[in-house]
Amino acid sequence: MTTQTPAPAPRLHRDRFTLTLDGVFVTWGWLLYSFNPSVPLLAAELGVSNAQAGLHGTAMAVGAVVAAALTPWTVLRLGRRAALAGAGVLIAVGIGLLTSGWTLPATLSGMVVVSVGGNVAVSAAQAGLVLHHGRTASAAVTEANGVGSGIGLLGPLAVGACVAAGWGWRPAVAVTAALALATAVAVRLLPEEGALRRPEVGVRARADQRGSRTGAAAAGRAVLASRWFLVAVVAALALENATTYWATDLVRDRTGAGAGIATATTAGLVAGMTLIRFVVGPLSLRVSPARLLTASFGVAIAGWAVLWTATSASVALAGLFLAGLGYGAQYPLGIALLLGAAGGATDAAQARATVGGGVAVGLAPFLLGALADAVGSHTAFLVVPVLAVVGGVAAVAGGRAWRRERPGVPVAAGEPA
């Protein structure tokens, strides 16, 4: 009797396209991990409540909804390369408005512009990576997010250093503009081919005619799986943004740490997120990404428990690091699974994820801030494990739905439909 040697796991090919698009995630990671921990500092600076400061998450949601409608149209009409380059310029303009504003309406307006540019860039880049890499899409998307959070790790440290030096949070956040413009230039230098190819006029016309039919067919093949993975993505984004917005406030209240030290502890969360992304990316080519996604929500709950009970900055830092090991796997695995279940409607699926994520980003920080105003940040943080349970249940259900809808096809993000 002969035995068959198992087929080797596919390997991720890091080409120029992949490395350049990683710049999109570097830019967005720096923004999230430098600005989000700065929100309590902005609230004190402008003399507004936590709930009012949490409206910056709502502003991001508004931008995400606009971007969700804009991205598929822009990619189809102008091509992915033009969409990515233009989005980088828009990010830089928004950062200028955000960091030069000294009233709440001014900073909120800047955040809307930043969010439109950032979400167009991330949406176009993630869909491009999935189309470019196919079977290894989960590793490509996870690694790209890992690179972004790895550079973003310096964001909270930069904010803490700027605050300690008496400069405030603005100089650290302003670095985002330089990263955005550099990425835009690098993208423009890429050849307009493959996933960056600009559709011809006839192709665009036929795509318009077939768009609804393609989307309906893809939805029919994986409707339940894609819906469940969308819930997991929304839960993951709500967890991440609620924590990065208000963990600084929780650490200050529970440990008595100063503003600079409390803000810098957020780096523990980003460090955990970065580390796990470089581990789980290659691992997702050997272990079901849906199972890894489920496990990540359990790790997030463990990290929350350490953070929530901490009374010293060092223990809070450890809790944030552990939570980051869970958080870091959730979004990239969830989005790669969602896009992998979309069949030929990749950009449309990304648009739905952008809308859902925008709602999460808009509501979670605002609601947690409002709860913190009412009952204190410690009690308000009980929302975090609830969100993690929702995400874990959705990941399990998504994996089961995939197996029912695609019998015999492994639950592997990026698997061809």
What's 214's domain CATH number? 1.20.1250.20
| Domain membership flag for residue 84 | yes
Number of domains in the chain: 1
CA 91 to chain centre: 16
Question: In this structure, are residues 129 and 14 in contact, taking their beta carbons and an 8 Å threshold?
Answer: no
CA-wise closest residue to 164 among 276, 264, 286, 307: 264
Write the pLDDT tens digit of every residue in 129-188. 877 777 777 778 878 888 887 888 788 888 888 888 888 889 999 999 999 999 999 999
Q: What is d(CA 173, CA 353) in angstroms, rounded to the nearest whole number?
A: 26
| Domain membership flag for residue 417 | no
- Return the DSSP state at 38: G
Write the pLDDT tens digit of every residue in 196-210. 777 664 344 444 444
CA-wise closest residue to 177 among 114, 234, 250, 226: 114
Give the side-chain half-sphere CA count within 13 A for 220: 6
| Domain membership flag for residue 3 | no
| Domain membership flag for residue 358 | yes
By residue range, what is the domain housing residue 368? 16-405
Checking if the pLDDT of 20 tops 50, the result is yes
Band the pLDDT of 8: cuts 50, 70, 90: low
| Domain membership flag for residue 410 | no
| Domain membership flag for residue 411 | no
CA-wise closest residue to 340 among 233, 188, 193: 233
pLDDT for res 127: 82
Question: In this structure, are residues 237 and 297 in contact, taking their beta carbons and an 8 Å threshold?
Answer: no
What are the distances in angstroms from CA 250 to CA 109, 166, 244, 272, 298?
Answer: 27, 22, 11, 19, 21
Write the pLDDT tens digit of every residue in 39-79. 888 888 888 887 788 788 788 888 988 988 888 888 888 88
| Token output for 338 | 């969602």
Residue 343: which H helix or E strand, with range?
none
Question: In this structure, are residues 13 and 136 in contact, taking their beta carbons and an 8 Å threshold?
Answer: yes
Question: pTM for the whole thing?
Answer: 0.72
| Domain membership flag for residue 11 | no
| Domain membership flag for residue 215 | yes
Tally the residues of the chain. 417
Give the side-chain half-sphere CA count within 13 A for 146: 21
pLDDT for res 412: 53
pLDDT for res 208: 45
